[in-house]
Structure formats: C-alpha cells, structure tokens
Amino acid sequence: LLSFWALETNFSSITGKLDIIRSLATLSYDGRRSAFFKRELINALTMLQRGIYSYPGERMQGSWAGAMGSTQFMPSTMLAYAIDYDKDGHINMWENRRDFLGSSANFLSSVGWNGDESWGHEIELPSDFDYFHSGLKYKEDLQYWIDRGITLKGGTQLPYTSGKTAIYLPQGANGPAFIVYPNFFTIFKWNNSEKYALGIGVLSDLIAKRGDYFDKFNLNEKSFMSFEMAKKIQAKLNELGFEAGPVDGIPGKQTTAAIQRFQLSQGTIPDGYLTKELADQILLK
C-alpha cells in the first residue's frame, strides 16, 4: 500500500489540480477514447450527486485523465471500491489516510491480491536454463520451474503458490532474475504496465528491508526507446517474420517474444531484453 501511495502521488504531495468534470468532458469530446471517458464523466457526476465524497476545497480535482485522490482512482474505481473506512460519514480519498489506504486495500483484495504471498522472489537460474522460456508470456505452474532446477537466491526452495508463475528478467540475462507470482499480475489491474508492477514490487521490498538484489540493477542505463522507435522495431520484426503483433509503439509481451525469436535466430541468449545494440541489429536486417 505504501508503494502504491508513493508511486501514484509521492505520498499525497502531487494529486493533481485540474477540474475533473472539465477534464473528462474534454476527453469525452475527443474521439480517441470518447466512450471510455464518457462513462467516467457520468461516474464523476454520480459521485457529486451522492454527496458523500470530500474534495480539497470542495472541488473535485485530479489528473488530466480523471484520476484523483492520494492513490489516483478513476471515478468508476472510486464508485466501486472507495470506502468510508473510519465511518465518519464521508469518503475522503485525498486527505484521510484511513479512507484512501483502506479503499486501496479493498480494491486490491477484490481483484485477487493474496496477502499470504509475495509479488515475486529473486532466483538462481541453472547453467542450462532455457532463456527462450523466460518472459511474462510464458506462465507455468510452480512445479514446472522447480523441476528445471530453479531455486531462491541461495539455493533454497521456492515458496508455494497454486497460481501461475513466470520467470522475469527485467534487464536481461545480465541483470537480476525473478520468479513472479500471481500478485505481480494482480498489480496489472491497477496499472497495466510490467515496469509499474516491478516498481511496486521492488519498492515494497525496499520498505520491508527484504531482498538484497537492488545493486544488480543497472540504474545508469539510458533509455533509447521512443514511441516511434518501438513502432519501427515492431514493424521490422513483423517484416522479418518474427510476429511482434500490432505496430502500436507499445512493446509488450508479444514484442518481447518476437525479440526472443530474433535472438535465437542469431545464436544469442534469447532473454528478450532490447539493448541499443540489439535494436540497431534488428533495424539493419
């Protein structure tokens, strides 16, 4: 919960100052996602009609896209999951920590968060690990990985989970290696981004003083990936027959799998991690 609060608003210091009704009305008129924002506009008006929500200065303010409060709920999420945790007759998602943290917990538990399990664990990969089977697209039962010699860092057995798991290498074969549990995929229901989910997991480990893998990340690596660059790489991978999916500039699981197939064809470790050198190699083919 502290990680979500930190990533969303830096502990309530940046909750947004735009008028939510005006923002959603403008986005409803814009043709790109008008149906979605029209629904959110109606939901925001419903919040005002119910009169049980407290706003800063009695104004509903938030981000340009309609998210609001200390954990940045959209109006639909607010209506479905925001609760008056301290029973004072008002739901204050901006200033009342009991309300916005309780509501965030209510959302997470409702969409599948398991409080008895972690988001994931740092692991040791055996020398013969098949890197082609890493990545979030390849979900397997825990026993599948145990049978292939994967253990926690230090060689101990992986904690039990009944759900699907995946091997995640956020910085490729040379960075830290994780096995991600169902909770990791539950984070996607808050924000559909693997980097966001990783940020939540890593920050929660830092807060809890759990794990010693942080110095294994290369924090000095500069991102070269732009929206247009991603589209070029997707288009080139499709042209070469590696099936990267829609050319949308959003390199997700399908694009990562295509990069792995390209790496395999070149005889390199198929970890799916796109470096500047690998991007140049793809584009020059």
Place of tokens 């008028």: 19
Sign of torsion over alpha carbons 109, 112, 115, 121: negative
Residue 22, classified by CB atoms within 10 Å of its CB into exposed (0-12), middle (13-18) or buried (19+), is exposed
Regions in the chain scoring below 70 on pLDDT: none
The full set of domains in the chain, from first to last, is 2-110 (1.10.8), 120-216 (no CATH), 227-283 (no CATH)
pLDDT score of 30: 86
Angle, alpha carbons 280-227-119 (nearest 5°):
95
Task: Return d(Cα 37, Cα 31) in angstroms, integer.
Answer: 10
**CB count, 10 Å around CB of 145?**
20
Query: 3-state class of 53 per DSSP?
Result: strand
Task: Return d(Cα 270, Cα 266) in angstroms, integer.
Answer: 9
CA-closest candidate to residue 212, choices 122, 120, 126: 122
Task: Return d(Cα 18, Cα 91) in angstroms, integer.
Answer: 20
Query: 3-state class of 119 per DSSP?
Result: coil
Task: Return d(Cα 55, Cα 75) in angstroms, integer.
Answer: 13
Which residues are within 8 A (CB) of 41 and not within 5 positions of it... i.e. 6 or more apart? 21, 24, 25, 27, 28, 66, 75
The reported pTM is: 0.90
Q: For strand 61-62 and strand 18-19, is the pairing parallel, antiparallel, or unpaired? A: antiparallel
**CB count, 10 Å around CB of 268?**
13
Put the strands of the sheet holding 120-124 in their side by side order. Answer: 151-152, 120-124, 178-180, 166-168
Q: Supply 66's token pair.
A: 């309609």
pLDDT score of 219: 83
